[in-house]
Amino acid sequence: MISKNSLFLHEEIMLLALRDKEGTTAGGTKYKYAIGGAILAELLLDGRIAVEKSKKKLVNLVSSKQVGEPVIDECLARIANTKRRASMKTWVTRFAGLKKLNHRVAEQLCSRGILQADEDKVLLIFTRKIYPQVNPQPERQLIERLRKAIFTEATSLDPRTIVLVSLANGSDLLKLTFNKKQLKGRKKRIEKIQNGEMAGKATKEAIEAAEAAAMVVIMITTCS
């Protein structure tokens, strides 16, 4: 369980996906699957679910005890109440498809004083909600964590940062955050992180959630 003032993985993904000033998302809809993977990873890290060691990677419920975060708890309830077990990829897709998921996560960040809810006009006709940043410090700290993980040779990374790197890379959010040429030069380092070489058992399962999200992104991109 994270501390009260820390951000959940899906909140961190939302921050990376949002344009700071405009308050709109960048990079298409890939980030939604990263959010779905982040939620699944949270449940794994919190010990609420486990993954069956089989080719299908079916998700098993371990505990239905609420985490205390609305979106995560709704997803946990869905797993607890399902009639048939499903794979990690299936749950990532289901979580990513939650109604108004991006707005719900953004509004949580508003309640933390990081974003501000607003509206603007599209083509002078349609109204849409936007979430410009009002407190840049949390995202700066987030990006610094990613920078240290990717661009240094640190041998000890915390589980959440390892999973975050995997999620952000699989959804192309790293390319929106750092220089593409510099990222290319750190490809082996990113692969090392994603392979779980610096991770414990629970973290490796959470990384699998990130991999499932990345696979869904590839499937969606290929079919579109």
Residue 20 near residue 132 (C-beta atoms within 8 A)? yes
**166 in a structural domain:** yes
Please tell me the predicted confidence (pLDDT) of residue 126: 83
CA distances from 146 to 19, 55, 87, 128 (A): 18, 31, 29, 31
**213 in a structural domain:** yes
Cα separation, 34 vs 65, in Å, equals 24
Q: What is the CATH number of the domain that holds 79?
A: 1.10.3630.10
Query: Which residues, other chains included, contact 141 with Cβ-Cβ below 8 Å and sequence gap of 6+?
Result: none
Cα separation, 78 vs 92, in Å, equals 12
Please tell me the predicted confidence (pLDDT) of residue 211: 82
Please tell me the predicted confidence (pLDDT) of residue 123: 73
CA distances from 165 to 13, 118, 150, 171, 192 (A): 10, 30, 8, 10, 11
Please tell me the predicted confidence (pLDDT) of residue 104: 98
Please tell me the predicted confidence (pLDDT) of residue 224: 45
**91 in a structural domain:** yes
**191 in a structural domain:** yes
Nearest to 39 by CA among 80, 1, 10: 10
Q: Using CA atoms in the order 208, 69, 3, 32, what is the torsion angle rounded to 10 degrees?
A: 40
Cα separation, 176 vs 85, in Å, equals 35
Please tell me the predicted confidence (pLDDT) of residue 59: 94
Please tell me the predicted confidence (pLDDT) of residue 29: 84
Task: Say how many domains are in the chain.
Answer: 1
Please tell me the predicted confidence (pLDDT) of residue 73: 98
Cα separation, 14 vs 7, in Å, equals 11
**2 in a structural domain:** no
**19 in a structural domain:** yes
Residue 68: Cβ-neighbour burial (10 angstroms; 0-12, 13-18, 19+): exposed
**4 in a structural domain:** no
Averaged pLDDT in 10-residue chunks for the chain of 224 residues: 74 96 87 94 92 89 96 98 94 95 97 95 83 97 96 89 92 94 96 81 75 74 51
**1 in a structural domain:** no
Residue range(s) defining the domain that contains residue 112: 9-218
